[in-house]
């Protein structure tokens, strides 16, 4: 059963109460040369970031303490909650209200049963006055935010390229709503002071910081608005990680990056994943490509290891290709023992499948393990040039994810069953 979670907004405070035997965190790395990543259209920066020299100084983490009994925290993280118009139209009730909960009925137990659940909310929720919109300038009913909390999501991330789809005024109105949800929300802030307040969630005495950044936004922010959507920027990231280490025991970074519809990494992902590892971030959750990308352990320069999910792919959505239907939920345990800094165990993934029949009807999110050949034959993507079978759906995961991170049913024969 999920226990009560307390969101803390703390900063510039040294807390000497968590885990120990930590290694130094580098904070003085140089900023690579790069052009602005904010554009009026969807862009993907495949330009290599510069390689920096070794920093001249290091800052030690505070010496911390933990409970004598080991604490194990289960975590799941879902990828892009991509709400196209068929999803909200199907969720409209006769009384004019919306109910998205049935769309997640088949995965809700996974969300509820985890101690901490995270989701990347890809589409903004600016309110009814903006109208509800499909791609390319999304706006999703605010009931989605309420339903995400009901489902059990504790952390909702908004750092993505669509967050300004209804412009800065839309974001301002969205934040008035999302700040009332009772969940940890991050990746979009009312001003720089708000953005500087590291989001920390405490569970059984263990403090977990959440950071979030995006490569850019499709709509440029208004010069008259104080709202902040943090871009992927080395100086900002380095500064934020240093602050997070001062006030928490474990750090998770959400990165909206990569190239859409590609399972390989681009240069920005390669550069910044290593930077995050060198800074001592514990886990990276990647979004934006709308397809699954690799999972790997990255060696940090101080002997630490960072678990990196380069792209979790999509959750529910109405895109047109099989590769976009299959996503993964990050799944791991955070373990904290006396005289040790918290560490990751049981790193893996829980694959999901976005089901829809022709014409984008009957959209619902399933566990990939529940997909049947009968369901596959009826899938919308069969009419869009793909052959949807259980075998082909499994291959969207098994061709990309190392076996050590796969669930048992995909390890048995590489997903070759049920063809």
C-beta of residue 125 within 8 angstroms of C-beta of residue 142: yes
Position of tokens 């759906």? 393
Would residue 330 count as lying in a domain? yes
CA count, 13 A, side-chain hemisphere, 122 = 24
Would residue 12 count as lying in a domain? yes
Domains identified in the chain, total number? 1
Would residue 418 count as lying in a domain? no
Whole-angstrom Cα Rg for the chain: 20
Helices (H), 21-142: 85-90, 108-113
Cα–Cα dist 17/357, whole Å: 52
Would residue 1 count as lying in a domain? no
Query: How do the pLDDT tens digits run along the chain, 419 residues long?
Result: 454 444 444 433 334 344 444 333 333 333 333 333 333 333 333 333 333 344 444 444 444 545 568 999 999 999 999 999 999 999 999 999 999 999 999 999 999 999 999 999 999 999 999 999 999 999 999 999 999 999 999 999 999 999 999 999 999 999 999 999 999 999 999 999 999 999 999 999 999 999 999 999 999 999 999 999 999 999 999 999 999 999 999 999 999 999 999 999 999 999 999 999 999 999 999 999 999 999 999 999 999 999 999 999 999 999 999 999 999 999 999 999 988 899 999 999 999 999 999 999 999 999 999 999 999 999 999 999 999 999 999 999 999 999 999 999 999 654 454 44
Give the per-residue pLDDT at 54.
41
Q: For the domain that residue 196 is a member of, what is the CATH number?
A: 3.60.21.10
Cα–Cα dist 93/280, whole Å: 47
Would residue 156 count as lying in a domain? yes
Give the per-residue pLDDT at 309.
99
Would residue 417 count as lying in a domain? no
Would residue 83 count as lying in a domain? yes
**What is the domain extent for residue 218?**
6-411
Give the per-residue pLDDT at 282.
98
Cα–Cα dist 78/391, whole Å: 23
Would residue 416 count as lying in a domain? no
């Amino acid at each position: 059963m999920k226990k009560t979670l307390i969101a803390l907004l703390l900063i510039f405070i040294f807390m000497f109460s968590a885990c120990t035997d930590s290694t130094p965190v580098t904070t003085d790395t140089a900023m690579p040369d790069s052009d602005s990543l904010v554009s009026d259209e969807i862009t993907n920066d495949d330009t290599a970031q510069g390689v920096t020299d070794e920093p001249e100084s290091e800052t030690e983490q505070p010496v911390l303490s933990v409970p004598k009994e080991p604490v194990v925290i289960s975590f799941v993280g879902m990828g892009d909650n991509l709400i196209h118009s068929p999803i909200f139209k199907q969720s409209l009730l006769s009384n004019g209200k919306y109910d998205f909960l049935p769309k997640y009925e088949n995965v809700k137990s996974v969300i509820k049963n985890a101690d901490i659940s995270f989701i990347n909310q890809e589409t903004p929720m600016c309110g009814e006055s903006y109208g509800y919109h499909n791609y390319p300038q999304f706006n999703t009913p605010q009931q989605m935010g309420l339903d995400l909390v009901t489902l059990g999501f504790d952390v909702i991330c908004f750092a993505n390229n669509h967050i300004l789809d209804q412009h800065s005024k839309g974001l301002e109105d969205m934040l008035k709503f999302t700040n009332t949800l009772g969940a940890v929300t991050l990746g979009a802030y009312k001003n720089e002071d708000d953005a500087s307040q590291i989001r920390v969630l405490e569970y059984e005495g263990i403090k977990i910081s959440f950071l979030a950044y995006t490569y850019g936004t499709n709509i440029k922010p208004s010069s008259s608005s104080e709202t902040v959507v943090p871009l992927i920027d080395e100086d900002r990231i380095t500064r934020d990680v240093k602050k997070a280490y001062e006030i928490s025991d474990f750090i998770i970074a959400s990165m909206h990056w990569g190239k859409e519809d590609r399972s390989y990494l681009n240069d920005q992902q390669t550069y910044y994943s290593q930077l995050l590892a060198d800074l001592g971030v514990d886990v990276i959750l990647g979004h934006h490509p709308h397809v699954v990308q690799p999972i790997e352990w990255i060696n940090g320069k101080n002997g630490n290891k960072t678990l990196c999910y380069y792209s979790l792919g999509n959750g529910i959505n109405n895109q047109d290709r099989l590769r976009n239907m299959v996503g993964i939920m990050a799944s791991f345990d955070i373990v904290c023992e006396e005289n040790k800094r918290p560490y990751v165990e049981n790193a893996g993934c829980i694959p999901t499948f976005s089901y829809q029949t022709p014409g984008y009807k009957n959209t619902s999110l399933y566990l990939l393990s529940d997909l049947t050949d009968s369901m596959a034959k009826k899938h919308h993507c069969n009419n869009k040039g793909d052959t949807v079978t259980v075998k082909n759906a499994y291959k969207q995961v098994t061709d990309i994810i190392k076996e050590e991170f796969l669930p048992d049913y995909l390890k048995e024969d590489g997903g070759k069953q049920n063809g």
